[in-house]
Amino acid sequence: MDLAIRAVRALSLLGGFCAAALIAASVGVVCQMVVVRYVLGQTTIWQTDFVTFALVAATFLGGPYVLMTRGHVNVDVLPLHVGPAARFRLALAASALSLLFALVLSWLAIAFWHEAFDNNWRSESMWRARLWIPYLAMPVGLVVLSLQMLADLAELLSGRQHPFGIAPGTSVAEAIAVRETGT
Amino acid sequence: MSPATQGLVVIVATLAVFVTGTPIAFALGAVAVIFLVLFQGLDSLGIAAETLYSGLHDFTLVSIPMFIMMGAAIGSSPAGRDLYLALDRWLYRVPGGLVVSNLGACALFAALTGSSPATCAAIGKMGIPEMRKRGYPDEIATGSICAGGTLGILIPPSITFILYGIATETSIGRLFLAGIVPGLLLTALFMAWTIYKIGRSGFRAYPSEFRYSWREKLEVLPKVLPFLFIVAAVMYVLYGGVATPSEAAGVGAALCVLLAVLLYRMWDPRAWWEILRATTRESVMIMTIIAASVLFGYMLTSLYLTQTLAQAIADANLNRWVLMGLINLFLLVCGCFIPPAGIILMTAPILLPIVTAAGFDPVWFGVIVTINMEIGLITPPVGLNLFVVNSIAPDVPTRTVLAGSVPYVMCMVLAIAILCAFPEIATWLPDQMMGPGRK
């Protein structure tokens, strides 16, 4: 069990690194594109496509990492102000709903990716990129997201993680500070 | 079930799911999936994955992580401190000078980042302890920073404007320009209130013979001006029609990171990773909400809920100002509970047709929405800036922070009223620089 949870966390962290790398690369490519287009006066072919695909991929691949570090914002009025027992039940409901979304979309995304792969879809731009490559980030990201949600749920049920990361006795301000920095 | 009843069920269910504390992105996605299946059967999910992907596949969205990185680079460097020092040295003679320079620093910092909590934290970390040390009342020291921080999303560049622009297909360049004059108006209102309040109490922070030398005044400038220059250049590039917002933001981000590294000698790669990590976390969070809100919007339109609501409001034949008042009230209530990104992405596509049908300008409405979101940032129960200030000055009771913020909330309400009376305050600058907009 411990091993499985550690493995999932490692996957999420890896996804986070990939997302960060894609964002950094996008900044570089945008700068290169600006130079090519406005300084050298040439047309650009692959840059717009690359940057757009990279940032979609970063969103899906980085999702599990942001979940793990509690970076996805929520409406936390009720969780912050109720007692520990009610907070636990709210956390269960929140996990169940999130998991429902992630599992359904994982399944749909796999089917969607498969279609793109089988039919060899290409992007409509001059680059004619094979779409199954960028599309792959969606099923991969959503499956890891589902796994991370399951890992969080397992830790919540076994009492190793506090509901919403709020330890009993934490003040509202402390809880928010944790959420803002993710540490 | 009629569309109206369906609509009511969807609204109640969405709010119920939010209240459990489910992350906004997953909540929107889950509600969309559940209602599509419930009302239209399993087949309706056929293009859900494609909808989710295509919601993000848009070059305009590239500007979001770029502007976030620009803010993260400046936020992680001591630029906030230097900006603060510079303004204090230049404005210390004004009554309530320190508070006024804090507000000015907030406005300038807002022009460097698109985020309110970041503005609040960067200026507050220096400003609040300094104001308290010099004897300013806690109420003013904390309240002014809470309020000044909210300027982050009104003065361009602003993530809130980008989201509104994407959700309503309004020009982001136009929105940025429209935020400038109202942002300055709001800053002036905040300052006026502070000067009045401090002046009336006869409080002076410095002995009246105290002077900063010109040397002291000038030596703080070299560290502050380059950042302001980059932001001005980004704005120029945007409006000169030279480049798109995404391109301008990308180059701006690269320059800001470079400048932060060079000016403050941030050679440690861990500092770079911190900038990248903060950028990734916030960008991924916002982009996930965008993707989910597109799926949510798809559910609303395929069930004809958006159209039904717009029709119902058109049929009600309300006076346009009564309508605008109700929309403001609705946004204020939402702002008290839901983060700005969630509110704008969810409600703007629904509200915009109603608002434009009533003859309001979409760009002007973007400014109104943003000021409403600013109010939500400093009102309980989830006013983010209140908590940022609380973490800077934990010994000031929340009640005092709130009492200090209330007059500034009134300033914002006043600003909304002024903007309603004189919409040109928002629309004049974009019309001048980019030609008349669509009405």
Q: Which of A12, A18, A23, A100 to mutate to test the interface with B (most CBs of B within 10 A)?
A: A23
Give the pLDDT confidence of A119-137 residue by residue, as tens digits. Answer: 989 887 778 888 899 999 9
Give the pLDDT mean for B143-152. Answer: 91
Residues of A in contact with B242 (CB under 8 A): 38
CB distance A71–B282 less than 8 Å? yes
Residues of A in contact with B73 (CB under 8 A): none
Alpha carbon distance A46, A137 (integer Å): 19
Q: Which of A23, A51, A100 sits opposite B283 (nearest CB)?
A: A23
Q: How many residue contacts between A and B have a Cβ separation below 8 Å?
A: 204
Give the pLDDT mean for A68-92. Answer: 88
Asked if B370 and B153 touch (Cβ cutoff 8 Å), the reply is yes
Between A180 and B233, whose confidence is greater?
Answer: B233
Among the ranges given (B77-86, B207-216, B258-267, B354-363), the one the predictor scored with the smallest mean pLDDT: B207-216
DSSP codes of every residue in B251-317: HHHHHHHHHHHHHTT---HHHHHHHHHHHHHHHHHHHHHHHHHHHHHHHHHHTTHHHHHHHHHHHHT
pLDDT at B29: 94
CB distance A51–B27 less than 8 Å? no
pLDDT at A180: 57
Q: 3-state DSSP call for residue B334?
A: helix
**Of all residues in chain B, what percent carry a pLDDT higher than 70?**
96
Asked if B433 and B173 touch (Cβ cutoff 8 Å), the reply is no
Residues of B in contact with A150 (CB under 8 A): none
State whether residue A112 sits within 8 Å of chain B by CB: yes
pLDDT at A183: 46
Give the pLDDT confidence of A98-111 residue by residue, as tens digits. Answer: 999 999 999 999 99
Position A160 pLDDT exceeds 70: yes
Between B366 and B115, whose confidence is greater?
Answer: B366
What's the mean per-residue pLDDT of chain A? 89
Alpha carbon distance A129, A49 (integer Å): 8
Alpha carbon distance A94, B395 (integer Å): 33
State whether residue A66 sits within 8 Å of chain B by CB: yes
- Secondary structure string (H, E, C) spanning A102-157: HHHHHHHHHHHHHHHHHCCCECCCCCCCECHHHHCHHHHHHHHHHHHHHHHHHHHH
From residue B179, give the alpha-carbon distance in Å to each of A176, B148, B166, B234: 29, 15, 16, 16
- Alpha-helical regions (H) of B41-171: 48-56, 63-76, 79-91, 97-112, 116-133, 138-150, 159-168
pLDDT at A97: 96
Residues of A in contact with B254 (CB under 8 A): 27-28, 30-31
ipTM exceeding 0.90, yes/no = yes
Q: Which of B21, B25, B288 sits opposite A78 (nearest CB)?
A: B21
Asked if B358 and B306 touch (Cβ cutoff 8 Å), the reply is no
Q: Which of A52, A72, A97 sits opposite B285 (nearest CB)?
A: A72
Give the pLDDT confidence of B182-204 residue by residue, as tens digits. Answer: 999 999 999 999 888 887 876 66
pLDDT at B223: 78
Half-sphere exposure (Cβ direction) of B306: Cα atoms closer than 13 Å: 16
Position A40 pLDDT exceeds 60: yes
Q: Residue type at B39?
A: F
Range B152-188 burial, b when 16+ CB lie within 10 A, else e: bbbbbbbbbbbbbbbbbebbbbbbbbbbbbbbebbbe
